[in-house]
Structure 1
């Protein structure tokens, strides 16, 4: 196998440079020495573009390879990334976390560091092959155990692209808001409502997708609720029978959706979508056979959440939303709209613009342009 020859650190003042001697412990617990000099990275999921755009004014500066799976962040949002950073579609294509890993594609892209999703990517033998070819592998996790791993993963990415201080600033911002939720939820006497969260709501006619022990289910527990899926699903995600959901008759229903459900009967909302579209799709979801019989629907405790606020450091907004929805009296003072506006103005290179949550019968909330 030929070993790619990497160029020395760039003299371009816009280049992202990593200092000598930087080491990280990745999410798999591997101690990794990062190559000093110009950062050249590949990622296996377009959603990491959002995390990079929190760290860098131009997230494509250190990027040499990605899976070209822009649909994972939503079509409108990806179009704005491409318009802002026109080199994005010209970068090398590597295998995504949803595909079998291709060593050849990764080497052809020429990274110095390859960022992989936990539970996906290369085998240990392939990691060793990458190392022999001069490519360092780093594993992060925004999906399997987000509460435990998102901040650590953001810090790892910050080190990989030489933005440790920026990562620390964002982690502190997130910690402050999580602490406010945790303090209120921990107050004595705060009852935990039963919650049914349906990911990708209405994507198919079959019911009912649900988090189990892990994934977005951990958000429900943190926000002071009981995830009804965790009681019977052994894994992070799975499917509940409609009969089980009706028997549990949850106090609160939350559906997640996004631009990826456009053209389906699912919950359509997020970047580029207005309040009317979000509300109409939420009402359609809530009116389905069986779902409309739930106490949560009859009592007006039905909510829609854009998946674009999940699986990334933006999830702190989702935590605030869930806490408000689960405990409107005790936690109604939380302001997720203000939190998202701060993320937009202080951190994100490409601010979000659209309707990212909606409730019935309360009015939806849309960020101003």
Structure 2
């Protein structure tokens, strides 16, 4: 299969060229094909969510296990949405407030599924994850396709999520029908996944919409706590997308370092000592330390200039790009500091811990 690359400038979506590309992508989706879509979070691998064979091809292309449910994306009006009504039987009143506050946007809601939703989408679970993307291109492709679109991240299962079309092609070139290249994504981490049917509500995956924002709109919310489980238990259907213990991982061994900014270089240098002789060292480095690192034992490491430590949105946007860049440089070990849990920092910590799978110093 040759993967078609469709170029669209999100700022010029009304041009004939952009509309032609959108129409082509929509037709591929309607006909059961796979299209990688840019969203405001990461690139997603889309298929007609109502077509079990099309959804199965997502799992095949990604090498994704069947016990891992996927999110369905919709477009159109926030209220009285025909796609939503097709997918969901009912939902509590609090959901309307959440939709009004955060849709379109990076919030996925777990809602009672209708009979129209294939089992493969939810891994047989009674709730289906629904979100309405804010990215103009993804929204318009889904709207023109006229079908809800199942779309997990467009990468090989458990690998680093893609934030550019080039990242998608690194993993899936020749395995999918098309990728829409609309430039880098804005948030850089996946959507927040919330179950509003529980009391208190449950965040299964933190993201760009924070727990505090949700509380201000809809009341009490708690975070899901994952537990280590045996390999056999891991094959059971997960309660939500994004809760597997190992996701978002580079090929390199990822080691996390917990520290304040003032002591971070010393802690990174100390963590690097036992790694001498393990191969090429990569370093996710806050911008504030870019010049100071040259006077430390880390001066020979391959450095990715991550962003400013006090700007978690910037760190989130560049997280996956940095991990992929260090992988591409041939790093065998990557040292990465853990930012504070404030705001979207909680989502960054979640992704890094899953990528490192407990490797922390």
TM-score interval, normalised by the smaller of the two chains: under 0.3
Question: TM-score, normalization: structure 2?
Answer: 0.28
Q: Which one has more relative contact order, counting CA pairs under 8 Å at least 6 apart? A: 2
TM-score by length of 1: 0.27
